[in-house]
Structure 1
Amino acid sequence: MEKQTIQSDINRLKNTVINGDASLSASGDSSDVTRLDLNSWRKFLIGPLLSVYMFGYMMSYYTITEYTNKTWRDIKLTEANITINSLSSSRCVANKSSPEFKVGNDATSMAAQYMVYYSLAQGIPAVVSNLVLGSYTDALGRKFLLGVGISGTTLRLIASFLIIYFKFDLLFFIGACLLEGFTGQYATMLQVSLAYMGDVTKPGKQRTLGMAYIMFMIGTSLTLASFAAGYLIQIYNFYIPLAVAAVLLVIAFFIMLVLLPESLPAEKRKTNKSLKEVVGNSFSFFVSKDFGNNRWKYQLLLLAHGFCDFSFLGRIGTETIYQMSEPFCWSAEKVGWYGAARTIGMMVFGVGSVKVFQAFLPDVGIAIIGVLSYAVCFALTAFANNSSMLYIAAAASSFGPLESTIIRSVASSLTDPSQQGAIFAAFASVEIIVNLLSNVGTSAIYSVSVKFMRGFVFLVLSSFDGISVIFLVVLLLGWKREERKTTVVKI
């Protein structure tokens, strides 16, 4: 395709297309440096890079969870002087008055308590580090934060490998998690990947498809991680999955360093700013009058995303306990198959349907469909009494990822190219906070309500989605009203 150049009033090149491959910044402007770096297939390596990272991250998560549970089970068995073969593998068939059942309950309770310790060790420092590091990526570039995120998780994996290999106390995992927390945890990689995609796509439909690409790559890694961890643990040992994950992340680091182009050239970075100014950038979208008519849009987008995230992130631990208890009595293997089937459905019908919905719905309308999909799923789960109903509920959640994809895309499209890192830093920090609150909240609600209605907690989660829908409807109506006023003024 012949190279075309459009001269603007300030003599800059826009929308340059070379050999059919557009090299675009978030605003559509292209400098020579950006064209040189991004006019190549290599910019799409951000998707596989994030996928490899999330695969290693989630494989280690499953491994450490199972190792913690097994360690406490062995401790409690030894204290009760019970041989391991006498402990029933299913809580559903165990005699609830037997010592074996009590040992199983005590072990599960202690393992869950330690998982809370790990989450807090990662999550609390991650809130601050995501705000600071995420905002600094607008000054130091995207590859800087990618390197920090990969390095932090790799160090945590190496430390965890040593803890398991030498059979150190489980409390040492807290130190490993703290180390990763100070580099931002998984949220660092997610926010910088989204900011990177914001740099190389145009606002609107192209930006939305770019965000969908990122979410699809994450879904692929999550589908495979649980199976890989289970297989490696069963065939080898607990430390082998951690070693494999660490090697994969080292490979990902070198791919980032050598092959992935920088999406934010030096001349477009915001430099010479103090730490206070950098962190303030992330909050300014929601409180500063400088953003005029966009401020209320940012506020509603963040509120809608936060309430929807509370339901989505909070369900994971509680849902597993729900499925393994009566009347479902699922094994860990069945839980794994269910999770994989649901994730595949979300990637195929959810993320895969973005372009279809864009043909006849506005972006905010598509996000509403995503949130409603989650709400229906949780309502069905609350009243499920057999495995078939749970799978129907999973099918109902297939369009759920549309919410996250669209809301992030809309927020990115509203934001100046030089502040992509700051806006995603704000979203990442809120996601970390919501993750902590939802895990504690759903566990507490489930423990209190299980005696009178086992699925009550899922009705609560569904109501959070309902609140999210209200925020999005207000955003949609307000935006349309604003567009009508603008049209009248132009006429």
Structure 2
Amino acid sequence: MTTKKLDGAAASRRRYLIGPICFVHVFTFGIYNSTTVLFFPEYVGKFLYPNTTSETSADSSICNSDSNSTDTESEKVIQAEVARFTIYASLCVGIPCIISNLLLGSISDRYGRKMMLMIPTIGLLLVEMSTAILMYLDVHLYYLLIPMVVQGFVGDTFSLILFVMSYVSDITENNRSRTFGIAIMECCIGMGVVIGGIVSGYMIEAFGYIWPVVTSPLCKIINIFLIACLPATDVQNKSTDPLTLKTVLDFIKQSLEFYYSKKYRGLRWKYNICIVVYVMGCVCLIGRNAAEVLYIISPPFCLSPVLVGWFHAAQQTVQQGISMILIRVFLIFMNAEAVSTMGALSGIAGFIVQGLATSNTVLFLSLVVGFGMALGIPTMRAIMSKETPSESQGALFGGMAAAQTAGTYFGSLVFGAIYESTVYLFNGTVFMFMAGLCFISFVLSICLVIIPKCNSNEKANMEKKDEKLTEHKL
């Protein structure tokens, strides 16, 4: 099947602005997210231990919560309290975000991608400005949950990613070029997180926590202009009809029907396995962020905000930069299903090493061991996109964004609860749990490789039997 091409001016090179749009959005959100995640333990430390918390942002607030020791009860209390707050934050963002992403993908199939790109851009700009104001006013930490609810209703950063992936599907052919195009967008996402994390660390060290949060919405203004210059794609069922309750329900149905509808009989097994592998990848790759930051700023690592930025830079460079580029090489020798299997194995090893790490050297080494843990996400996107008609790409990616949101915030919630419960025993327990999830992805990826071969062998055997039966009758 050939995808719809851009009409008129859409044939120009301006369609490649989708890459910079993706990068700028994730870069600015990377600054915001990295800053706020580090701000939470800083605030809790000062609130609970105002006389002992370090006053410099250049050091880990948890390791400096007590001037006499780096392994005290106060450090555990701060970690447990921050982990509890991340659970509330996950609920405030995650629940409305799941609903909005279910709708936004199908809506983009009807009303076009370009207009929909403005929703998360402007929405997150307002959210980040509100957060900066609340931080400046030095209100209680739980007031920050208010803009988080709004963040969920605009789809968080996941909604922009779903529109980007849908746009790429519109402008690429239904072959390996689409897989590579999606991988390039994953690379833009990874590089945005990398540079955003590094910038936020140095800005926190130089200016404190408020200015990085202010910088993020200011940079998003660039994306408003880039989106205005982006050519629209020719969406087959484009419409200007008003939204009604029936159409809203239809949008939700369109995003979910891949997994249960008779319309996709014969493919449902593949859609369902792919979405589970995809969600497992999102849970481990994105949902781990808050728990991981707590882990690496605590003893024995005690990473400062700058080192946290470099750790995440190395992580994203290896796992979502180099590995995404290598997909092109991997696809020469194996199919997407086999690439996902290899990535799951890498994830198992990487998380085990990270959970057992006792030094910064081993901590950074775990990133190399787990270089391929992100491979399941783009490969599952590509496999599902190839099986989907062009007019339903938005619905597909909308449902995937909702699943990604649910998985991410469910992961953040569960990992926060596990970390809170095990911080006094073995705080690496949460990474052993992540390794278990990667093992499930490994098994399911093998199923994706084996089932089509079994079906083709069964079909070949049936054809041989039919031939023999025909010869016997003759």
* TM-score, normalized by the shorter chain, greater than 0.5: yes
1:1-80 correspondence runs (5 A) = 27-30=1-4, 34-78=6-50
Residues 424-470 of structure 1, C-alpha deviation per residue, up to 9 Å, x if partnerless? 11111111111222122223333444555443332221111111111
Secondary structure of residue in 1 paired with 2:154:
coil
Question: Counterpart in 2 of 1:238?
Answer: 209
8 A contact 2:200–2:309 mirrored in 1: no
8 A contact 1:349–1:399 mirrored in 2: no
How many residues are paired up? 459
8 A contact 1:52–1:221 mirrored in 2: yes
Question: Counterpart in 2 of 1:153?
Answer: 124
Secondary structure of residue in 1 paired with 2:334:
coil
Cα displacement (A) at 1:154: 0.8
Cα displacement (A) at 1:102: 5.1
Question: Counterpart in 2 of 1:269?
Answer: 238
**For residues 139 and 165 of structure 1, what CA distance do their matches in structure 2 show?**
41
**For residues 86 and 53 of structure 1, what CA distance do their matches in structure 2 show?**
29
Matched, 1:252 2:223: yes
Q: Relative contact order (C-alpha < 8 Å, sep 6+): which is higher?
A: 2
Question: Counterpart in 2 of 1:218?
Answer: 189
8 A contact 2:165–2:185 mirrored in 1: yes
Residues 265-302 of structure 1, C-alpha deviation per residue, up to 9 Å, x if partnerless? 4x443776722211101110000011121111101101
**For residues 246 and 185 of structure 1, what CA distance do their matches in structure 2 show?**
14
Secondary structure of residue in 2 paired with 1:359:
helix
Greater mean alpha carbon deviation, residues 324-333 or residues 35-44: 324-333
Question: Counterpart in 2 of 1:437?
Answer: 410
For residues 206 and 275 of structure 1, do their structure 2 counterparts lie closer, same or farther at Cα, with a shift above 3 Å needed? Answer: same
Matched, 1:113 2:84: yes
For residues 86 and 478 of structure 1, do their structure 2 counterparts lie closer, same or farther at Cα, with a shift above 3 Å needed? Answer: closer
Secondary structure of residue in 1 paired with 2:33:
helix
Question: Counterpart in 1 of 2:142?
Answer: 171
Aligned residue type for 2:450: L
Cα displacement (A) at 1:336: 2.7
8 A contact 1:76–1:106 mirrored in 2: no
Matched, 1:306 2:279: yes
Residues 60-87 of structure 1, C-alpha deviation per residue, up to 9 Å, x if partnerless? 1122233333333333344xx5585699
Normalization by structure 2: what TM-score?
A: 0.88
Q: What are structure 2's unaligned runs of at least 5 residues?
A: 468-474
For residues 140 and 486 of structure 1, do their structure 2 counterparts lie closer, same or farther at Cα, with a shift above 3 Å needed? Answer: farther
Matched, 1:280 2:250: no
Greater mean alpha carbon deviation, residues 61-70 or residues 462-471: 61-70
**For residues 336 and 96 of structure 1, what CA distance do their matches in structure 2 show?**
25
Question: Counterpart in 1 of 2:471?
Answer: none
1:125-144 correspondence runs (5 A) = 125-144=96-115
**Percent identity at matched positions?**
24
Cα displacement (A) at 1:199: 0.8
Of 160, 163, 177, 1:189 maps to: 160
Question: Counterpart in 1 of 2:173?
Answer: 202
Aligned residue type for 1:373: S
For residues 106 and 469 of structure 1, do their structure 2 counterparts lie closer, same or farther at Cα, with a shift above 3 Å needed? Answer: closer
Cα displacement (A) at 1:93: 8.2
Secondary structure of residue in 1 paired with 2:314:
helix
**For residues 344 and 100 of structure 1, what CA distance do their matches in structure 2 show?**
32
Matched, 1:455 2:428: yes
Normalization by structure 1: what TM-score?
A: 0.85
For residues 293 and 97 of structure 1, do their structure 2 counterparts lie closer, same or farther at Cα, with a shift above 3 Å needed? Answer: same
Cα displacement (A) at 1:311: 2.5
Greater mean alpha carbon deviation, residues 454-463 or residues 275-284: 454-463
Aligned residue type for 1:425: G
8 A contact 1:204–1:410 mirrored in 2: no
**For residues 395 and 444 of structure 1, what CA distance do their matches in structure 2 show?**
27
Greater mean alpha carbon deviation, residues 313-322 or residues 215-224: 313-322
Aligned residue type for 1:194: M
Residues 239-287 of structure 1, C-alpha deviation per residue, up to 9 Å, x if partnerless? 3222221121122012101x1111234x443776722211101110000
RMSD: 2.9
Matched, 1:385 2:358: yes
Greater mean alpha carbon deviation, residues 47-56 or residues 453-462: 453-462
8 A contact 2:86–2:416 mirrored in 1: no
Aligned residue type for 2:44: W
8 A contact 2:93–2:152 mirrored in 1: yes
Secondary structure of residue in 2 paired with 1:263:
coil
For residues 29 and 180 of structure 1, do their structure 2 counterparts lie closer, same or farther at Cα, with a shift above 3 Å needed? Answer: closer
Question: Counterpart in 1 of 2:472?
Answer: none
Greater mean alpha carbon deviation, residues 178-187 or residues 238-247: 238-247
Question: Counterpart in 2 of 1:369?
Answer: 342
**For residues 390 and 68 of structure 1, what CA distance do their matches in structure 2 show?**
23
Residues 166-203 of structure 1, C-alpha deviation per residue, up to 9 Å, x if partnerless? 33443332221111211111110111111111111112
Cα displacement (A) at 1:366: 1.1
For residues 277 and 69 of structure 1, do their structure 2 counterparts lie closer, same or farther at Cα, with a shift above 3 Å needed? Answer: same
For residues 447 and 182 of structure 1, do their structure 2 counterparts lie closer, same or farther at Cα, with a shift above 3 Å needed? Answer: closer
